[in-house]
Structure 1
Amino acid sequence: MPVPSPAPEVAAACAELVKALPAKVLDAERREASPKSPLTTAYGDPPIEMTCGVTPPAGMAEAQSQCFEVNGVGWFAKQVENGFIFTTIGRSLYFEVAVPAKYTPEANALTDVSDAVHRFDKLVTPCT
């Protein structure tokens, strides 16, 4: 999994957010990501990958119409070859969740992580 290189203040906030993520997502146990980084973590096999401090994905600028909300957190969804990549929208940090198709419906993983995102990352603009 690629490790981002955000500004130091973003990296510090992201490290706190990643630490606050739950022990399980979709009943999959938390495990270290490879390479090891305070900005990343993973769950299960195949891994559900979580990365904080990413750059906004292409197409996100037009995402307001594609934004959906889970537990007070707006998400932009991008379908990829083997699942979905979800990125927070309307927040100060860009947090990404890559969910393989094995975990269909993939968006259910967001229920498990949205509370931590809501607690550790401030809302900038709502998903409306």
Structure 2
Amino acid sequence: MDRSGLPRAADRLNGLPHYLAGLPATEALPVPNPSTEESAMTTASPELDVRQEIPARRHELIFATYGALTAGASFVLVNDHDPKPLYYQFAAEHAGQFTWDYLELGPEVWKVRIGRPAA
């Protein structure tokens, strides 16, 4: 892949394996929370469906959408697989600055609400 046009994406990809290798084996991803799911039904968040996007473009769209969020806002990511690597990328680059709530756990569709915590 020619990385000359995507230096930020290339840096993310290069750093991700190093971050993952340093995680303790006991660290777990957030799991669905019924109270979160109930609030999801009352609070509308725009959806970002990346299933039709080429894989190389997905993270770029997701991080651009996250970057445009204001404090307290969120969006729902719709994906065709568990976005677990994306969670680790957010944890590496935006530790303590994002929220992550699974809304649907596949097997064909995965939905995750990603947001910026309220100030």
**Same-fold status (TM-score > 0.5):** no
Larger Rg belongs to: 2
The structure with the greater share of residues assigned to strand is 1
The structure with the greater share of residues assigned to helix is 2
**Greater length-normalized contact order (CA 8 Å, ≥ 6 residues apart):** 2
- With normalisation by structure 1, the TM-score equals 0.27
- With normalisation by structure 2, the TM-score equals 0.29
